[in-house]
Amino acid sequence: MLVLPVMALADDYGLGDTAAAAAIPTDRTVTQILGDVIGSALSLVSILFFGLMLYAGIKWMLARGDSGQSEEAMSTITYAIIGLVVILASYAITNFVFEKVGTSSPDPSSNASWCYTPPEQPAPISGGAPVYGTCSKLSVAPNTTPACADSSQPYATQNECKEAHDIP
């Protein structure tokens, strides 16, 4: 007899509650998460190339006039610089592409809107850190009009809400 594991896909095993308690956003799309993962990987690889360049520089200084070691160190430095340029270009291209893909227009059949909540404390008069409000997701029942708690205008996307209220 063959026994197959059964997965309960509807249960999040408390991960939603944990994310809410830790203030981790759960409204991110797959493209945003993938863009962050690729950006982090490219950052780690650029650190590796920088370390390689430092290693080659030390090797060059310790060559003590040996032209073979000097040339080898210089070629390593050259290749590390080329690698850094390629990684930085890849990072810029990836960032641009995922920014454009991540901000695609929302699905019109979606039943979610974004509402602005002003900060609990007023902004400081002079100096001090700025105080921002928040943009939070409002779930709306099908075939109903979305309404924010303070009767303000709901926004279609989180970016629209943040731009309207100068939230970074």
**Is the model's pLDDT at 67 over the cut of 50?**
yes
In the numeric block, which tokens belong to residue 131?
């105080």
Considering the entire predicted model, what is its pTM? 0.45
CA 74 to chain centre: 36
User: For residue range 82-116, what is the model confidence (pLDDT) as tens digits?
Assistant: 988 998 898 888 888 877 776 544 444 444 576 76
String of DSSP letters for 59-127: HHHTTTT-HHHHHHHHHHHHHHHHHHHHHHHHHHHHHHHHHHHHTPPPPTT--EEEEEE--SSPPPSSS
Contact yes or no for 88/46 (Cβ under 8 A):
yes
Domain boundaries, the chain: 30-102, 112-164
